[in-house]
Structures are given as C-alpha cells and as structure tokens.
Amino acid sequence: MSGWIFVAEAAAIKPGHYETVDLDDSIAAVFNVNGEFYAIEDICTHDGTVLTSGQPIEGDEIVCPRHGARFCVRTGEALSAPAYEPTATFPVKIEDGKVYVRDNRWD
Ligand code: FES
C-alpha cells in the first residue's frame, strides 16, 4: 500500500491548473477543477506519452500533446480517439491546506 504523497499547497494550484508528482512507480497529475482536486496517472493510454506538457486544461479535459486524445481529469475516461482505455485515477485529500495523492492500485 502506498502512503500519501505531498503534492503542493492547495492555494498554489489555481483553478484550471495542475501539478505533477512522482509516486512509487508512476507519475500523478493533480488538477484543480473549479476548486475540486482530482488526480490521474500522467500517461496517455494510446501510446504512453506524458499527458501534461504545460498545456492548460479545457474544463475538466486534458488533450494529449502527441495525437490529440482527450481525457477527463475527474474520471480518467478516454473521451476521444485515438485513446480508448481510461488512464488510472488516484485518491486526493486536502489536509491543512496541503494537497496529497496516493496510488491505491495495489492496496
Ligand atoms: S500518445 Fe496520446 S493520443 Fe497518441
């Protein structure tokens, strides 16, 4: 079981922005969508490209910089070709104004 990993001060991730953090064997991207925080694995399921490259999110969607697949940052769902499989989601918690994420896939 992976523990909670500190991401950033919540106030440092403005709405529409995100921060990435190394987990044990993957990278999480943590998004602020209108004040709510969500985390997905920072990997496009089409061909393994890192999803975040500094581009802004569009509502609750991020567009893969390589071939343009869209993913929901709240659910990890692949919303458009050429990606069809969802990317993983991770639990997020806010404690004392700090954002934490953890990889619960191996619990
Ligand atoms: S690697 Fe993301 S759409 Fe192809």
The residue whose C-alpha atom lies closest to atom 3 belonging to ligand 1 is 67
pLDDT in tens, 61-105: 999 999 999 999 999 999 999 999 999 999 999 999 999 999 999
The predicted pLDDT at position 25 comes to: 86
- 1 falls in which pLDDT band (50, 70, 90)? low
Task: Say yes or no to pLDDT of 48 above 60.
Answer: yes
Task: Say yes or no to pLDDT of 107 above 90.
Answer: no
Task: Say yes or no to pLDDT of 8 above 80.
Answer: yes
Mutate to test the pocket of ligand 1, among 66, 84, 85 (most ligand atoms within 8 A of CB): 66
Distance between CA atoms of residues 58 and 86, nearest Å: 18
Assign domain 5-98 to a CATH class. Answer: mainly beta
What contacts 10, CB < 8 A, 6 or more positions away?
32, 37, 94, 97, 98, 99
The predicted pLDDT at position 24 comes to: 83
Share of the chain above pLDDT 70, in %: 98
Distance between CA atoms of residues 100 and 81, nearest Å: 31
Residue 49 CA: nearest ligand 1 atom is: 1
pLDDT in tens, 22-39: 998 899 999 999 999 999
Task: Say yes or no to pLDDT of 59 above 90.
Answer: yes
18, burial (CB in 10 Å: exposed 0-12, middle 13-18, buried 19+): buried
